[in-house]
Structure 1
Amino acid sequence: MKPKALVASALLLALCGPTSAAASNPALQKCMDSANTTAAMVGCNANETKVQDKRLNTAYKTAMAAHEGARKQQLQDVQRLWIKYRDANCAFAGSATGGSIDQVNGSSCLLDMTQTRADELENLVGP
């Protein structure tokens, strides 16, 4: 691997590594600790992404209900753009090396971004 590609891969792994969300989630950490294959790690990320996606959808519905008119339309537009960005960003993260770690990086990226966006939407309207 070329030095520039190695640096880029290391950077992507650091930014979207499989332990980012796991650090703050004991159940995910336990799953990842027992995962012995790439497929198992991707499965751990996918299961937690479902949980975070449900949280995101609930927060989005709450935020939409709290806004009216132009502000509501802006939120809808922003969310649609965020989904496009998330998908493109994680596709990029999941294709850096051409190796099997890309699958883990891509699924970890989806999890991390979904969890972060759920936090943002929850904070938008408060408790």
Structure 2
Amino acid sequence: MNRRIVALSALLLALSGTATAAGSSPALQQCLDAANTTAAMLGCNAQETKVQDKRLNTAYKTALQAQQGPRRQQLQDVQRLWIKYRDANCAFAGSATGGSIDQVNGSGCVLDMTQTRAEELENLVGP
């Protein structure tokens, strides 16, 4: 029983550090605070990832429209490569131990990287 409590505490600590690192939303933090299972934590990450993915797609479309000439194609190429990198990087992060923490780490990685990329794309065109 004590091992389960310690493992869950470590899992929550690892996840909260990941969420905070990306400047998570209050809704995500509230969800994570209430989550007491791996499945619940994954649900929280999935919910916020949908929000950030929508943000990323909007930022990408705006940034793409702002580009001219060869820069437009370059941005398309870069974005395709970034998606491949994100997926490979997060698959790697999500396979480190073979335990349930891997799923949380992998989904947290996708969330963090998606949020960061959305910010990068937003910064291409300014506020």
Deviations 1:69-122 (A, max 9, x none): 200000000000000000000000000000000000000000000000000000
Deviations 1:2-57 (A, max 9, x none): xxxxxxxxxxx9xxx42223463211111001101101000000000000000000
C-alpha displacement of 1:61: 0.2
Task: Name the counterpart of 2:126.
Answer: 126
Task: Name the counterpart of 2:15.
Answer: 18
Task: Name the counterpart of 1:112.
Answer: 112
Structure 1 unaligned spans of 5+: 1-12
Q: Output the CA distance in 2 between the equivalents of 1:69 and 1:42.
A: 41
Q: Does the CA contact (< 8 Å) of 1:56 and 1:115 recur in 2?
A: yes
Structure 2 unaligned spans of 5+: 1-10
Poorly superposed stretches of 4+, deviation over 6 Å: none
1:101 aligned partner, one-letter code: I
Q: When the two structures are superposed, what TM-score results if normalisation uses the length of structure 2?
A: 0.84
Q: Is the counterpart of residue 37 in structure 1 residue 40 in structure 2?
A: no
* Percent identity (aligned): 81
- Cα RMSD over matched residues? 1.3
Q: When the two structures are superposed, what TM-score results if normalisation uses the length of structure 1?
A: 0.84
What number of residue pairs does the alignment pair up? 112
Report which structure shows greater RCO (CA 8 Å, sep ≥6): 1
Aligned counterparts, 1:1-127, within 5 A: 17-19=14-16, 20-22=18-20, 24=23, 25-127=25-127
Q: Output the CA distance in 2 between the equivalents of 1:54 and 1:22.
A: 20
